[in-house]
Amino acid sequence: MAALGSPLRILRGLLRELRHANGRADRPYRNMPAYQHVVAAFRAHRVTSEKLCRAQQELHFQAATYLCLLRSVREYGALHQEYHGKGERSPEEVAGLVGFRLPQQPGGKG
């Protein structure tokens, strides 16, 4: 099993992905319920001098998995938007994509 990285790095990555997922500037991402839940969960499962949290590793693994999911969904959306078909194209546009020009018809037509 690969190393998970530090919990702080995973928390920062999660918050970055939530900021990307919000996408709206009119409403701060810190008011999102997902943001508040993630921060509260990390605060509740931190290790203090008074107690040892048994579920810390579970939370760490779940957070890393959720971060991977959020990052993958965002990257998929970007790839889909870039490479998704735009419908049927005209012959002139297709020729331009591959670097060709269509021949001109005599008489100035075309």
Residue 109: its pLDDT value, please? 61
Q: Domain range holding 40?
A: 7-70
Query: Is residue 31 within 8 Å of 90, Cβ to Cβ?
Result: no
Does 100 reside within a domain?
no
Does 81 reside within a domain?
no
Backbone angle region of 28, left / alpha / beta, with phi > 0 → left and psi within -120 to 50 → alpha: beta
Does 87 reside within a domain?
no
Does 46 reside within a domain?
yes
SS3 at position 45? coil
What are the backbone angles phi and psi of residue 35, rounded to the nearest 5°? -60, -50
CA distance 61 to 73: 18
Does 93 reside within a domain?
no
Does 44 reside within a domain?
yes
pLDDT top residue among 63 and 48: 63
Name the band, by pLDDT with cuts 50, 70 and 90, for residue 12. Answer: very high
How many domains does one find in the chain?
1
CA angle 31, 9, 22 (to 5 degrees): 30
Does 52 reside within a domain?
yes
Does 80 reside within a domain?
no
pTM: 0.63
| Closest-CA residue to 17 (of 100, 73, 61, 76) | 73
Model confidence pLDDT, tens digit, residues 60-96: 888 899 999 999 999 999 989 887 877 788 888 888 8
